[in-house]
Amino acid sequence: MRSKLRAFLLSLLFAGMPSGWAAENIPTLHAKVTYPVLQELMGGCSLRCAFFWETIAGAPSKPAPQLCDDDAMTGWMAPEDWKNTTITFQLPSKLPADCRDTPFYGLSIANGMIESPRAFRSHARVRSMLLSLNKKPIARLRLADTWKWQDFRFNDQVLNQGDVITLTIEEIYPGTESTKPFITEIVLQGAH
């Protein structure tokens, strides 16, 4: 009940703000770089412990299940015109009763093509993304230029049926051969 009241109060707060205010004044989160992305370490507990979702990316939008497939050798490449390209996580329209008001508090990202050092340098990587929940900005994510896991934590958000999490690409690290940014894996953290 408290989480619904908090969401309601936040919506009232932002309702009276000038257009664009929330996006300009959201926190910028810098990645906590952790361990190398290795196939042997893929998977584990995440928001998927509560429910699955549909992942859609690009322009035009297409299914992008390879972004959440626990496979270090697959990934998704943005189009040539990558600026403001979105990655969307659409929650199911019906959730079990015990999955309502599920906490969402972070992301782990394997940025770039990590199958080899040459592939990593050849392809562009994401430098900055805007994270939104139901079109309301939560944070700007600043990624490091590394093939290691990058973790982001933010104040708990509450997820319910039909919610939409969106990442919008804002800046990239150019590759030596391609300016299309590549992302190997995105893990949504929450539920526990």
Q: Could you report the per-residue pLDDT of 69-85, keeping only the tens digit for each?
A: 989 999 999 998 999 99
Q: Does domain 2-190 have CATH number 2.60.120.260?
A: yes
pLDDT level of residue 4 (50, 70, 90 thresholds):
low
Per the structure block, which two tokens stand in for 67?
């972004």
Is residue 186 helix, strand or coil? Answer: strand
Residue 44, classified by CB atoms within 10 Å of its CB into exposed (0-12), middle (13-18) or buried (19+), is exposed
DSSP label at residue 59: T
Is pLDDT of 185 > 50?
Answer: yes
List % helix, strand, coil for the chain (3-state, nearest 5).
20, 40, 40
Alpha-carbon dihedral of residues 116, 82, 29, 68, nearest 10 degrees?
Answer: -60
Residue type for 129, please? M
pTM, 2 dp = 0.84
Supply the pLDDT for residue 23.
Answer: 54
Q: Check if the beta carbon of residue 166 is closer than 8 Å to that of residue 86.
A: yes
Q: Are 28 and 170 in contact (CB under 8 A)?
A: no
pLDDT at 2 over 70: no
Residue whose C-alpha is closest to residue 75's, from 120, 117, 107, 32 = 120
As a whole number of angstroms, the distance between CA 172 and CA 166 comes to: 17
Nearest-angstrom CA–CA distance, 138 and 136: 6
The per-residue pLDDT for 192 is 60
Residue 186 tokens, joined: 């995105």
pLDDT recorded at residue 85 = 95
What lies within 8 Å, CB to CB, of 63 at 6+ separation is: 54, 55, 56
